[in-house]
Amino acid sequence: MTLSTDPVPGLDVSLEEGVLRLTFNRPEVFNALSGEIALALADLLESVPSRDDVRVVVLTGVGAAFNAGADISGEDAHEKFDVRAMDVTNRIIRAIVACDRPVLAAVNGVAAGVGCGIALACDIVVAAESSSYMLAFTRIGFMPDGGTSATVAASIGRARAMRMALLAEPLSAQEAYAAGLVTHVASDEEFPALVDTLVRRLASGPPLAFAATKKAVNAATLVLLEDALERERTGQVVLMRTADVAEGMRAFSERRKPVFRGE
* 137-169 burial code (b ≥16 CB/10 A, e <16): bbbbbbbbbbbbbbbbbbbbeeebbeebbeebe
- Cβ burial of 193 (10 Å; 0-12, 13-18, 19+) is exposed
Neighbouring residues of 157: CB distance < 8 A, sequence distance ≥ 6: none
pLDDT score at 110: 98
CA separation for the pair 237, 18 (Å, rounded) = 38
CA separation for the pair 70, 68 (Å, rounded) = 7
**Percentages (nearest 5) of helix, strand, coil residues in the chain:** 50, 20, 30
pLDDT tens, 39-94? 999 999 999 999 999 999 999 999 999 999 988 776 666 666 678 888 999 999 99
Residues 252, 93, 174, 221, Cα dihedral to 10°: 130
pLDDT tens, 134-187? 999 999 999 999 999 999 999 999 999 999 999 999 999 999 999 999 999 999
Whole-structure pTM value: 0.94
φ, ψ for residue 73, nearest 5 deg:
-80, 160
pLDDT score at 253: 86
Identify residue 131 by its one-letter amino acid code.
S
* 212, pLDDT greater than 50: yes
* 1, pLDDT greater than 50: no
User: DSSP code of 57?
Assistant: E
Angle at 166 between CA 109 and CA 239, to 5 degrees: 100
Domain ranges in the chain?
Answer: 2-189+204-254
Homologous superfamily (CATH) for 2-189+204-254: 2-enoyl-CoA Hydratase; Chain A, domain 1 (3.90.226.10)
Given the DSSP bridges, would you call strands 19-24 and 11-16 parallel, antiparallel or unpaired? antiparallel
pLDDT score at 2: 40
* 50-80 burial code (b ≥16 CB/10 A, e <16): eeeebbbbbbbbbbebbbbbbbbeeeebbee
User: DSSP code of 258?
Assistant: -
